[in-house]
A = this chain, B = another copy of it.
Amino acid sequence: MYDYLQSNFSHDSSPPFQGVPKTFSRVVDLCSFDPQREGVPPITFLQQVLAVCFYPELLSDENFALDVRQRARRLIQSCEGSSVGCYTPSSGLVYIQHRIAEFITRRDAGVPTDAHSIFICSGFWRTLTMMTKLLSSSEGEPQNGVLVPLPYPHTLAMVLGLAGIRSVPYRLREDTGWAMDLEELQRAIRTARGCCRPMAIFISNPGNPTGHVQNRKSIEEVIKFAAAEKLFLLVNEVDQHSVHGSGIQWVSYKKVLFDMGPKYWEGVQMASFHSLSNGLMGECGLRAGYMELVNVDKEVMIFAETLLNMDISSPVPGQLALDILLNPPQPSEPSYDLYTQEILTNLATLTENALRAHDFLNSLPGMSCQPAVGGFYVYPRVDLPAEAAGVEADVLYCQELLEEQGVCVGAGSENGNTGGEYHLRLDPSSNTPTRKHALVRLGAFHLRFLDSYSCGPHLETP
Contact = CB atoms under 8 A, between A and B. Distances in A.
A42 B76 CA distance: 13
Interface in A273-290: 281-287
A213 to B, nearest CB: 25
The 7 A-B pairs of least Cβ separation, nearest first, read A37-B81, A285-B316, A51-B55, A315-B315, A36-B85, A51-B51, A47-B55
A136 interface: no
Contacts of A50: 54-55
A287 B312 contact: yes
B315 A284 contact: no
B286 A83 contact: no
Nearest to A318: B315
Interface residues of A, number: 48
Contact of A285 (B47, B87, B281, B282): B87
Contacts of A287: 122, 312-315
Q: Count this chain's copies in the assembly.
A: 2
A310 interface: yes
A14 B96 CA distance: 39
Interface of A: 32, 34, 36-39, 42, 47-48, 50-52, 54-58, 61, 63, 79-81, 83-88, 122-123, 125, 158, 162, 281-287, 310, 312-318
A50 B47 CA distance: 11
B36 A83 contact: yes
Q: Looking at A51, A54, A57, A63, which has the most chain B CB atoms within 10 Å of its CB? A: A54
A84 B315 contact: no
